[in-house]
Amino acid sequence: MCRGFLVPDSGDGSPVNPDSMSSAWRFLVIRSGLPHVRFHDLRHMTPATWVAMRIVVIKVHHLTGHYPPDVFAAVLVASFVVLVSAPSAQASPVKVKIVNFPFKPADVSISKGTNVVWKNGTSATTHSVTAYKGPWSKDTTVFAGSTTSFTFISMGTFKYFCRFHAHITPSGRCVANTGISTRMCGTVVAH
């Protein structure tokens, strides 16, 4: 309940449907490669941040609508317990190198939640890490010497290619682009 707060409208004066906010949020989180976090979790993160900034609890519970203060304090303590007991360190990042043309290794097998980092180790060739349809979305140009990364939060097989040098046919076959002798495709299997 947000008494006295403004509600975003959907363009015609009616309030935005909360479900459309949630699905837009889910899409943004997946597209950015961030770990899974619900839109609602931001509401809990906000008072925790305020408390960390030493804004007094009595004010925070009024602003968030968590009432009464002792209930709010209990919720806050429970949130911290969940945070502290959550598995801490994620698996360390898995690295894929681009030295000349192929991705090395082209196929990697990871646990879900792992961050994969692609490094373009060439001195002058631009490549890309481009998702081949399926359950993920990525199309990043990787200039010589730079990197890009993606955290695979769900299980699955994620195919990708370098759009400058290869493409994947509708049947899933990796084919080098015209004039290129080396195919540039890779697969990440997250389990």
Where do contacts with Cu ion occur on this chain (CB under 5 A)? 127, 162, 164-165, 184
As measured in angstroms, the least distance from the Cβ of 147 to Cu ion is 14
- Residue with Cβ nearer Cu ion (44 or 165): 165
CB of 157 to Cu ion, least distance (A): 21
Q: Where are the beta strands (DSSP E) in 75-173?
A: 94-98, 103-104, 107-110, 114-120, 127-131, 139-142, 147-152, 156-161, 166-168
**CB 31 to Cu ion: min, Å:** 22
Nearer to Cu ion, 47 or 186 (CB): 186
Strand order in the sheet with 185-190: 107-110, 185-190, 156-161, 127-131, 139-142
Q: Which is nearer to Cu ion, 184 or 190 (CB)?
A: 184
- How far apart are the C-alpha atoms of 51 and 140, rounded to whole Å? 38
Closer of 94 and 184 to Cu ion (Cβ): 184
Cβ(156)–Cβ(187) under 8 Å? no
In the complex, the smallest distance separating the C-beta of residue 116 from Cu ion, rounded to whole angstroms, is 17
In the complex, minimum distance from the CB of residue 103 to Cu ion, in angstroms, rounded to a whole number: 9
Q: How far apart are CA 18 and CA 93, in angstroms?
A: 35
Return the residue nearest Cu ion (CB atom). Answer: 162
How far apart CA 166 and CA 149 sit, in angstroms, is: 20
* Residue number, 61 or 127, with CB nearest to Cu ion: 127
